[in-house]
Amino acid sequence: VLSIQVKCYHEIITIGYRVYHSYDLPWFRSLSWYFLLCVNYFFYGETVADYFAMFVQRREQLQFLIRYHRFISFALYLTGFCMFVLSLVKKHYRLQFYMFAWTHVTLLITVTQSHLVIQNLFEGMIWFLVPISSVICNDITAYIFGFFFGRTPLIKLSPKKTWEGFIGGFFSTVVFGFIFSYFLAQHQYFVCPEEYNSETNRFVTECEPSELFQMKKYSLPPLLQAVLGWEAVNMYPFQMHSIALSTFASLIGPFGGFFASGFKRAFKIKDFADTIPGHGGIMDRFDCQYLMATFVHVYITSFIRGPNPSKLLKQLLVLQPEQQLNVYKTLKSHLIEKGILQPSLRE
């Protein structure tokens, strides 16, 4: 994910650099890479503090970095900000602020959203594989339907896109996501959240699958019963969520591609780069994936993820003993008030 992110960032920044370099202005490319380093330091530091808390607690040299992580990140960014101000050249202020904004928007598109890809991975491989495969499936099937049946133009930004391809890609992707989810949901490796085991120093993908990944029986609506002749079907609840993911990949995901097409037309270029022969740059292949990753993260936090006792326990274990004792007393008082503790434990 980091490698793809850096390459996408490089492709977009290079387009801006061609404009900026013609004026022989200082520091743009250096500052752009410096800001990339700062933002990645912040996001990956947050991830380390969140998922590797026990590992960090055992190493004194890392405790300082984690404790003051946000202050250090801000200080690094502030250094870059001051360097930018010092680089301002008379008669070119507007162009320099334009390129400053260019860098920050690129960081938002690539770094922030690629970090969400990693967050999705920690929720379970299935939350990574189904969305990314749905986007790829939609890209392929929309092309096939458009090639054989396409007659009606869809959008001026992409003249080759047709309504027939758009609609055909939608139905094909929903079916693909539904079937693909069925096979992945059967394996713990794909459905279990990624958790770091500090004792074995490795990630663990073994768990008791949640209700999302346990087979259930669903009654069909009367109309489908009459058509199919079935009263009920057995499937995983996640397959219902896969329909939402596939729908987004088919109906909204392509707008990431349209956005990229508009961007390239604005600068009169065919592709972001020539990294992949016949396909253009890495960004040409991942223009929809970043938008999809953001949706998946929002979907998980809004409809799927609940309180995580395991994660909360890890955070409690890194507290000082007196802090842990205060938490224990507060929790005990709360349970007594609710009548959950046995009378014999109140003493």
How far is residue 245's CA from residue 135's CA, in Å, rounded to a whole number?
10
Nearest CA among 4, 196, 191, 195 for reference residue 115? 4
Q: Is the distance from CB of 142 to CB of 168 less than 8 angstroms?
A: yes
Q: Helix, strand or coil for residue 150?
A: coil
Examine the pLDDT at 318 and tell me if it is beyond 80. Answer: no
∠ Cα 111 116 121 (to 5°): 125
- Is the predicted pLDDT of residue 343 greater than 70, yes or no? no
- Asked whether residue 23 carries a pLDDT value surpassing 50, the answer given is yes
58: confidence class by pLDDT, cuts 50, 70, 90: confident
| Residue 163: per-residue pLDDT | 95
CB-based contact 212:142 (threshold 8 Å): no
Of 158-167, 182-191, 210-219, 268-277, give the lowest mean pLDDT range.
Answer: 268-277
Question: Is residue 311 within 8 Å of residue 54, measured between CB atoms?
Answer: no
pTM across the whole model: 0.86
Percent of the chain whose pLDDT exceeds 70: 93
- Residue 295 C-alpha from the chain's centroid: 8
Nearest to 129 by CA among 298, 302, 293: 293
Tell me the pLDDT tens digit for each residue of 63-81: 788 889 999 999 999 999 9
Helices (H), ranges, 25-125: 28-51, 53-57, 60-67, 69-86, 93-107, 113-123
> At 160, phi and psi to the nearest 5?
-80, -10
Q: Are 311 and 196 in contact (CB under 8 A)?
A: no
Higher-pLDDT residue of 235, 23: 235
Cα dihedral sign for 291, 295, 301, 302?
positive
- Check: CB of residue 73 under 8 Å from CB of residue 42: yes
The pair phi, psi for residue 158, each rounded to 5°, is -130, 85
DSSP secondary structure letters along 267-314? TT-S-S-SSBTTTB-HHHHHHHHHHHHHHHHHHIIIII----HHHHHH
d(CA 317, CA 58): 12
pLDDT band for position 195 (50/70/90)? Answer: confident
What per-residue confidence (pLDDT) applies to 254?
92
Residues 282-312 have pLDDT tens digits of: 998 888 999 999 999 999 999 987 666 666 7
> Which H, E and C letters describe 68-82, residue by residue?
CHHHHHHHHHHHHHH
pLDDT band at 347 (very low <50, low <70, confident <90, very high): very low
Q: What percent of the chain has pLDDT over 90?
A: 50
